[in-house]
A and B are shown apart, each in its own frame.
Chain A
Amino acid sequence: MAEKPDDTGPVGPSNNADAYWRANLLLVACLLMVWFIVSFVCGILAVDYLNQFRLFGFKLGFWFSQQGSIYLFVLLIFIYVWQMNRLDKRFGVDEEE
């Protein structure tokens, strides 16, 4: 998703809003997939399998469920903020100063 303001071209406001919304949904879907994998898959469903591996003194599944998932949640929100601010600019729907 490179930043190319010119590519959006002369589209009507409703087309533009639809395209913005689709891009938004795609971004959210990708991020929520990661959210599901790090918490529900790594921390719960596959925890016993991952526990045979180790990360220093932690069993890996235990680490995901009590530490790793939380770090990644924080990261996901910041990626979302960063990408959404770019989308806002690209589609010209960002808030006026």
Chain B
Amino acid sequence: MSAQLLTYLFVGLSFGLYIGIAIWSRSTTTNDFYVAGSHVHPLANGAATAADWMSAASFLSMAGIIAFEGADGARYLMGWTGGYVLLALLLAPYLRKFSKFTVPDFVGDRYYSQTARLVAVVCVIFISFTYVAGQMRGVGIVFSRFLEVDINTGVLVGMAIVFFYAVLGGMKGITYTQVAQYCVLIFAYLVPAIFISLTLTGNPLPMLGFGSTMNDGSGVYLLDRLDGLNAELGMSAFTDGNKSTVDMFFITAALMAGTAGLPHVIVRFFTVPKVRDARISAGYALVFIALLYTTAPAVAAFARVNIINNVNDMSYEQAPGWFTKWEASGLIAWLDKNGDGRVQYRGGNALDPATPEFATGLGQSGERLLSNEASGNDNELYIDRDIIVLAHPEIARLPNWVIALVAAGGLAAALSTAAGLLLVMSTSISHDLMKKCLMPNISERQELLFARIAAAVAVSVAGLLGIYPPGFVAQVVAFAFGLAAASFFPVILLGIFSTRMNKEAAIAGMVTGLTFTFSYIVYFKFISPETNHAGHWLFGISPEGIGTLGMLLNFVVALVVMRVTPPPPREVQELVQRIRVPRATM
């Protein structure tokens, strides 16, 4: 069977499965809709958290980024897993004991303030929207490349599926579809990685394979071979970093604290029955996540070796099918600088500007013509980082069913994250905004109706953002973490670990952290992007890592303000004492 037919089959089967689960587990009460009735088994919650957390960025983009950046990619690997240690040790068990529905719930009650609750609602919606737009775009890309439908049609199909199970099923529907989506995505990620690891190194475990010797009888370690190839082609060594130590440190810390402060992840720990379950559930979640995250750098190294071996000095006329197909979708471009009809792959950007702008017509060898200038180096090839995971099975000549599986996996990753984000947005609106602020007298049925309407609106807006992506989305997604780190993380942490922490300190801290981080990012990304390099950065910290400094400022301001303002009311102090112990009757 052709890869396309198989892709239709796999994607169709997986979508059927998600819809079936959604019908089986639909929600009838707000408790079901918001937190799945708090009846989710910790193991199932772990898998759901992993699927919720691992987005199109983890599945499709991360290995590609590492393939091109080498050692610097570690900031994502450590940042997006280390955050779970913070979450498990510092937040999850206490928030479970608090046992409400949302993050703004905690902020509003702990800081006895509707203002604080509203600030939290705005943050939740802002963070979630920037994040969800990227997911819908990911769905569109997978559809357009593998099913050869228009990107917009792909986004619409994705919207319809998410609409169905998020609006109908709420948290309960989402949880069990996410468990299924985790199984699909991890299988889809590991199978090609194992195949390729066996081919290149003979070791079936990719995590060990990329530290093994090459399978070609040379006895050379794969990573040494890769460093050698990179040096030959004028690129920096795969196992050495280019980023400064201080920047790596700050970016990694921002990603960790941001992960722990992301509302759609935190809310998952409200769905398990007990405090003990919340603790172990974070452990299971990280095991499930680590399975993909320890494989990703191996996939990156393998892809790098395979691309260099397959593409460099290849005659364009004999280019394999995947090369011309991705060229047709504009994600690969080749500029024959020396006119020899062969692809020279070297260090540096091939094009000026760096991303290809296609002109009409074909060149001498049949390649798509570009309107970009040639850059000053010998590199002739542009490869978009986002295609590495999708293209790798084809590059490595794996069977068609593996290629189809990867497409289904990418969709599972994007849809599961989108659904989780849409749910926290709808909950924030129906519960925190309507029930807790604007219309406290509505019945449970009305609240549930508001939740479904809010979910439906959020799906539609997310779909629109996928179809008409505003240019800034990609820029902003990475900063959702910085903002979460600078706003939620300190406030929640101090709210649990200090009984003295009060309303004034929380608001002052959040406002300082957010304003500082937001201004720094906006300045370097939008107002004055030409100065966005290390020479102008504060202490050499890039906008990507500035959330860590924003977080430290938040802590300092909060701790100072706390000392000069009155302590919180007695019942709030008792609330803090109560969430610190698991037993209900203390």
Report how far A93 CA is from B84 CA in the complex, Å.
25
Interface size class of B (residues with CB under 8 A): 35 or more
Tell me if B85 and A96 are in contact (CB < 8 A).
no
Tell me if B84 and A73 are in contact (CB < 8 A).
yes
Report how far A76 CA is from B86 CA in the complex, Å.
11
Tell me if B249 and A95 are in contact (CB < 8 A).
no
Number of interchain pairs (Cβ within 8 Å): 138
Q: Which chain A positions have C-beta within 8 A of B580? A: 17, 20-21, 24
Tell me if B211 and A88 are in contact (CB < 8 A).
no
Tell me if A88 and B78 are in contact (CB < 8 A).
no
Question: Chain A's nearest CB lies how many Å from the CB of B293?
Answer: 6
Tell me if A56 and B211 are in contact (CB < 8 A).
yes
Report how far A28 CA is from B42 CA in the complex, Å.
21
Q: Which chain B positions have C-beta within 8 A of A74? A: 283, 286-287, 290
Tell me if B212 and A57 are in contact (CB < 8 A).
yes
Chain A minimum-CB-distance residue to B88 = A77
Q: A69-B78, A95-B584 are in contact. Are A80 and B279 (CB under 8 A)?
A: yes
Report how far A62 CA is from B211 CA in the complex, Å.
11
Q: A66-B73, A73-B85 are in contact. Are A17 and B582 (CB under 8 A)?
A: no
Report how far A28 CA is from B159 CA in the complex, Å.
42
A residues neighboring B (CB under 8 Å): 13, 17, 20-21, 24, 28, 31-32, 35, 39-40, 43-45, 47, 51, 55-59, 62-63, 65-67, 69-71, 73-74, 76-78, 80-81, 84-85, 88, 92-96
The stretch that binds A, out of B146-154, B217-225, B368-376, is B217-225
Report how far A47 CA is from B212 CA in the complex, Å.
21
Tell me if A63 and B211 are in contact (CB < 8 A).
yes
B393 part of interface (Cβ distance < 8 Å): no
Chain A minimum-CB-distance residue to B275 = A95
Q: Which chain B positions have C-beta within 8 A of A78? A: 283
Question: Chain A's nearest CB lies how many Å from the CB of B88?
Answer: 5
Question: Chain A's nearest CB lies how many Å from the CB of B237?
Answer: 10
Interface centre among A24, A28, A47 (most CB of B within 10 A): A47
Chain A minimum-CB-distance residue to B282 = A77
Q: Which chain A positions have C-beta within 8 A of B81? A: 69-70, 73
B residues neighboring A (CB under 8 Å): 66, 71, 73-74, 77-78, 81-82, 84-85, 88-90, 93, 207, 210-213, 221-224, 239-241, 245, 248-249, 252-253, 256, 274-276, 279-280, 282-283, 286-287, 290, 293-294, 297, 577, 580-584, 586
Q: Which chain A positions have C-beta within 8 A of B582? A: 88, 93-95
Partner of B71, one of A65, A67, A73, A76: A65
Chain A minimum-CB-distance residue to B213 = A57
Q: Which chain B positions have C-beta within 8 A of A13? A: 586
Tell me the interface secondary structure of chain B in the complex: helix
Tell me if A71 and B294 are in contact (CB < 8 A).
yes
Tell me if B88 and A17 are in contact (CB < 8 A).
no
Tell me if A73 and B290 are in contact (CB < 8 A).
yes
Q: A45-B245, A85-B276 are in contact. Are A28 and B89 (CB under 8 A)?
A: yes
Interface centre among B82, B207, B256, B276 (most CB of A within 10 A): B82
Report how far A92 CA is from B586 CA in the complex, Å.
10
Report how far A88 CA is from B90 CA in the complex, Å.
16
Q: Which chain B positions have C-beta within 8 A of A17? A: 577, 580-581, 586
Tell me if A57 and B221 are in contact (CB < 8 A).
yes
Q: Which chain A positions have C-beta within 8 A of B287? A: 74
Across the A-B interface, the 5 shortest Cβ-Cβ residue pairs = A57-B221, A65-B74, A57-B211, A77-B283, A66-B297
Q: A45-B249, A56-B211, A74-B290 are in contact. Are A62 and B71 (CB under 8 A)?
A: yes
Question: Chain A's nearest CB lies how many Å from the CB of B475?
Answer: 25
Report how far A57 CA is from B222 CA in the complex, Å.
7
Question: Chain B's nearest CB lies how many Å from the CB of A27?
Answer: 9
Tell me if B253 and A40 are in contact (CB < 8 A).
yes
Q: Which chain B positions have C-beta within 8 A of A47? A: 71, 241, 245
Tell me if A94 and B577 are in contact (CB < 8 A).
no
Partner of B82, one of A55, A56, A58, A73: A73
